[in-house]
A and B are shown apart, each in its own frame.
Chain A
Amino acid sequence: MYFSDIGIISLILALGFAVFTMVVATLGATRELPQLVASAKRSVLTVAFFLILASAALIASFLTHDFGVSYVAQHSNLAMPWYYTASAFYGGQEGSLLYWALMLSIFSAIFVFTAKRAPTVLVPYVMATLMGIETFLLIVLTTVSNPFVRLPVPLADGVGLNPLLMDPGMLIHPPMLLMGYMSFSVPFAFAVAAMITGKLDSEWLRSIRGWMLAAWSIQTLGLVLGAWWAYHVLGWGGYWGWDPVENAALLPWLTATAFLHSSMVQERRGMLKVWNLSLVIASFALSIFGTFEVRSGIINSVHSFAYSAIGAYFLAFLVIVIVFSIGLFIFRLPKLQPEQEFDSVISREGSFLLNNLLLVGAMFATLWGTLFPLISNAVRHETLTVGPPFYNQVDGPIFIVLILAMGIGPLLAWRHTSTRALRRNLGIPALAAAICAAVLPLLGIRDIWANIAFAVCSFSAGAILYEMWRGVRVRHRHGEPYLFALYMLFERYRQRYGGYLVHLGLVMLAVGIIGSHFFQVQQDAVLKPGQKMDVAGYKLVYFGNIDRTYPDVEILTAQLQVWHDGQLQQYIYPGRQLYARFANQPTSLISITTYGLTDLYVFLANWNGLSEATIRVFVNPLVPLVWLGGIVMLLGGIICWWPQRRKRLVSVIVPHTEKEPASERVGAGAVSGGEGALAPPSVESIIGHSDGSKAEVAPGREGTLASPPVGVLSGVPENDEEATT
């Protein structure tokens, strides 16, 4: 018996249990039989178990070098290190689908384990939807894309993985991105469940927001890792090429970001229900579309993946998903009325709407560019493509306006902001922007667009930092040391401060992009030993090539000295690796050294024996900020997502109270299980995030409190977005 036999059996059993779950969960929900729902929950766990078993079988086949399995023979060989061998599990078409199915089952299992946090009515339908998606994947895995197919005659040694893919970045970027695509299934399942049951209240919002935050964070990580890998391995000096496959990963990220903002409007004011549902469905549809596009070969991309029949399956699934979702949508439309109205553009809602419009606009623009070959072919019978200049010139301005909105938004109040408050809040950020706009040209930066972009970034960074400073200052006045106050702010107001951190990260990312886009310097040189090359203040002196031969690989490096500001900085060794098995395919060892905030990127283009080298040098200003910004964004996303423990009640002395049913105030449903009322006392809030507007308590209540409720000293409800409004 081979491991692959276990694999096939596990896949078939998983498929069976997935279908079982769908039937039983739906029956349990419609016939009101909790035993059936419990059975469905256990069935989800069984599916996860069998998928884990199947994945283990595949990894075991790899590690035991079972070259009788066609997939193993295609993607590994005896000479590969064990970690690359194991990672080949998700390196090919069939394996990556198995990985996807595995991750979906694990997320479904996590959902089952945390099902108590979700509204009870929704649970069966969420499970049914997740298992529906799982069923599709398992059908594909057991029919056209089976990783466990055996060869008639086992090979003595496999083909192995392409050297370009045997790289640490390749170990983590694909699984992260695949997991990201998959993770949009859970918010989608919640959306379907909500449309079926009609339950679209704050409890539902809280659950779906949490899962969408997780999906967003994973997708952010996948995108940043992909950019990082491209920069460090491919040698063209950049990190994002607007390739169709890259765009496919960006599209659901854009709609997810839009949802995370507009859901706050629904949470606060019960509006935009239809819009939010559309965004969740769109995110999932785009993730499926991305997979379809990447695997079908329908769009020509430098990331060529197999052109097999599997594309048709994904397209069919995509059509089913869209038709099903629209059908449910129309069914539920009468119940999706907004609870309130928009009052003024100069408000938090207004800025969120702007944010959404810009993000969705960017999404459509990017989608248009990606699909343009197909569109032009269909309309004019000629194939045209658009390249990076198109995307840079369309998405660039959109993102700059987005960053501007990002700075202004948190300074606006819900419903309407008075001009007085506006002036007070915008003062410092505007000052920051003015200083930046004045100083940069003096430092030699003349490009008008770069200056505008930098000024916008300083505006937003100024706004965010100022808000954080105000919060810290207020807490400090009440006795906390500064750093502790900052920590407490993050601890208490995760959604708000996590959001600030994400925005800060995005500003850093933007600054990095602006720097590297506008100010990159590129120079080539052919050097003989002793010759030097000057580029943008750096001097490189060439000494010759070093050729080292190992059993499996030959490594050729050029030895160069780097001088900066008249001082020797270090020696660098850009080079190439030539694997014995892939003689025609050298991989690059790119030398990237960072001086302050600038990267010196040196690529060995060509060489002649040991005493001549052609090098291409890029001086990339501000690129380290791209990676740093990405990490900060991820950190912020995790903080936003981190579930808050249910707070205990702390008694608060109140001078005079306006007793109200606090269940309305904590309408997020956070205080479930009857933790009782929090009487909102009219004590002055000690967080000075005031923007001079009327206090808004909960959807439907029109300013019943004169002063904002305190969130600081007593238990804070989970949608602790702000202590004041």
Chain B
Amino acid sequence: MQTAVSVPQEEEKPESRRRRRLPISFILGGLAILGAVIYLVYANTQANAVYYFTVSELKNCSICSSQSVRVAGVVQAGSVVHNDQQQQISFVISDGGHSLPVVYSGIVPDIFNPGITVVVEGHYTGQGPFQAQMLLAKCPSKFQAATPGP
């Protein structure tokens, strides 16, 4: 019958030998790869990081006309206007505090509707609407914790 906490059988090597575990070539190679990966991550984070604001924070933004930023908010009912000649859509998003008019040309996702949360990425000069280049709508909440009404 084997004991629960047993000594593994292949532990025959005496503990006294303290040899070098890893040849230098391994260490150098490993460091090179790690270095490359870290460099890739660092460089691309710098290049690709995009500010993520709430609507309220956007009002105080000074860099938003020169850099692309992301804003999240809920689409307000009654604010959606389709402009078919110019393939544009304009709507207003809000985070409960402030509202922000948005203008977007491009394909609108199926889920887009008043009441859903969207994330737009684009530029904002402080006047006029937010010029969105990208529109992401949140997937229907499968796990909605809402209670259904009659």
Binding site for B on A (CB under 8 A): 29-30, 32, 34, 70, 73-74, 91-93, 96, 120-121, 124-125, 151, 153, 155-156, 158-159, 162, 164-165, 196-201, 234-236, 270, 295, 300-308, 335, 337-339, 341-345, 350, 353-354, 357-358, 361-362, 364-365, 368-369, 372-373, 376, 382-387, 389-390, 393-394, 397-398, 524, 526, 576, 584-588, 603, 605-606, 608, 614, 616, 699-700
Q: Which of B109-150 contact A (CB under 8 A)?
A: 109-111, 113-114, 117, 119, 121, 136-148, 150
- Given A235-B110, A335-B11, also A383-B4 (CB < 8 A): no
| Residue pair B30, A368 in contact (C-beta under 8 Å) | no
Would B6 and A121 count as touching, CB distance under 8 A? yes
27 contacts between A and B (CB under 8 A): A93-B143, A121-B6, A125-B4, A159-B148, A164-B140, A198-B5, A198-B6, A300-B52, A301-B138, A302-B119, A302-B138, A303-B138, A304-B138, A304-B141, A306-B144, A335-B8, A341-B21, A353-B30, A358-B33, A384-B49, A384-B52, A386-B45, A386-B49, A393-B44, A397-B40, A585-B110, A586-B110
Question: Assuming A74-B148, A385-B49, A389-B44, is B26 touching A350 (CB within 8 A)?
Answer: yes
User: Does B81 reach chain A (CB closer than 8 Å)?
Assistant: no
| Contact A368/B107 with A295-B143, A308-B145, A358-B33 known, Cβ cut-off 8 Å | no
Interface residues of B in 2-18 (CB under 8 A from A): 2-11, 13, 15
A155 near B19 (CB under 8 angstroms)? Answer: no
Residues of B within 8 A of A304 (CB): 117, 138-139, 141
Q: Is the CB of A389 within 8 A of B48?
A: yes
Complex Cα spacing A696 to B36, Å: 34
Interface size on B, residues (CB 8 A): 64
Residues of B close to A376: CB separation below 8 A: 49
Given contacts A342-B23, A394-B40, A398-B40, contact A605 B139 (CB under 8 A): no
Within the complex, what minimum Cβ distance (angstroms) separates A260 from chain B?
19
Q: Which residue of A lies closest to B33 (CB)?
A: A357
A345 in contact with B50 given A93-B145, A304-B138, A585-B113 (CB within 8 Å): no
15 new A-B contacts, CB < 8 A, other than A73-B148, A584-B113, are A29-B4, A30-B5, A32-B1, A32-B4, A70-B148, A74-B146, A93-B143, A162-B142, A164-B111, A196-B4, A234-B110, A303-B139, A345-B26, A389-B44, A605-B108
With A197-B4, A389-B44 known as contacts, the answer to whether A74 contacts B144 (CB < 8 A) is: yes
> CA–CA, A707 to B75, complex, Å?
73
From 86 to 106 in chain B, residues with beta carbon under 8 angstroms from any chain A beta carbon are: 87
Q: Assuming A196-B5, A345-B29, is B142 touching A382 (CB within 8 A)?
A: no
CA distance A341 to B26 in the complex (A): 11
Which chain B residue has the least Cβ–Cβ distance from A294? B143
Set of chain B residues within 8 Å of A397, measured between Cβ atoms: 40
Q: A120-B2, A197-B5 are in contact. Are A606 and B45 (CB under 8 A)?
A: no
